[in-house]
Amino acid sequence: MFDIVVSAHGDLASSLVRAAEGMLGPLEGVHAVDLSPGDDTAELRRRIEGVIEGRASLVLCDLYGGTPANACLLAPFGSPVEVVAGVNLPMLPKAAGLRSQPLVEAAEKLVQYGRLHVRHQPSHPPSAPQRSGGEP
C-alpha cells in the first residue's frame, strides 16, 4: 500500500485535499505539501521527503515542469515514488481507492482517470430541434 502526497503552488494542495475530504471524510495516507512564495526547490524537496519518510508514495503535482514536479525529480527517493503532474480534484478519491494496487499501475490508471474528467461543458444546452409542420 502506498501513500499519496499532493504538492502544488500556493495552497492548492491543501485545498484539494480538504475538498476531497469534504466529499468523502478523512482520507487515510493522503498528505498535502504546499509550495509557498519564496520556497525554493530544495526546501520543497526536503518537505516532501519528510512526508514520505521512506514509504512508497504517489506524488500528485499541479503542473508538469513546475517546482513541485521538479523537486521530485532532483534525485531518487529512498523508496518507490511515482510522480503524476496535472492533478485535479476527481483524481484524489480515485487515487485513494487505488492504494492497494501496484504503484506504477495505479499511477497509469490515475492519469487516464484524470484525463476523463477534463471536459468542455457548454454553458448553455443546445436548442431542441424544431419539428416541421408548425406544431410544437
The sign of the CA dihedral 102, 104, 107, 113 is negative
Measure the CA–CA gap between 13 and 18, rounded to whole angstroms: 9
pLDDT tens-place string over residues 54-104: 999 999 999 999 999 999 988 889 899 999 999 999 999 999 999 999 999
Residue written as grid cell 504503484: 103
Share of the chain above pLDDT 70, in %: 93
The answer to whether 13 touches 59, Cβ cutoff 8 Å, is no
pLDDT tens-place string over residues 97-108: 999 999 999 999
Measure the CA–CA gap between 74 and 133, rounded to whole angstroms: 69
Global pTM value: 0.87
The answer to whether 114 touches 91, Cβ cutoff 8 Å, is yes
Which homologous superfamily does the CATH classification assign to the domain defined by 3-116?
Answer: Phosphotransferase system, mannose-type IIA component (3.40.50.510)
Domain boundaries, the chain: 3-116
Torsions phi, psi of 102, nearest 5? -60, 140
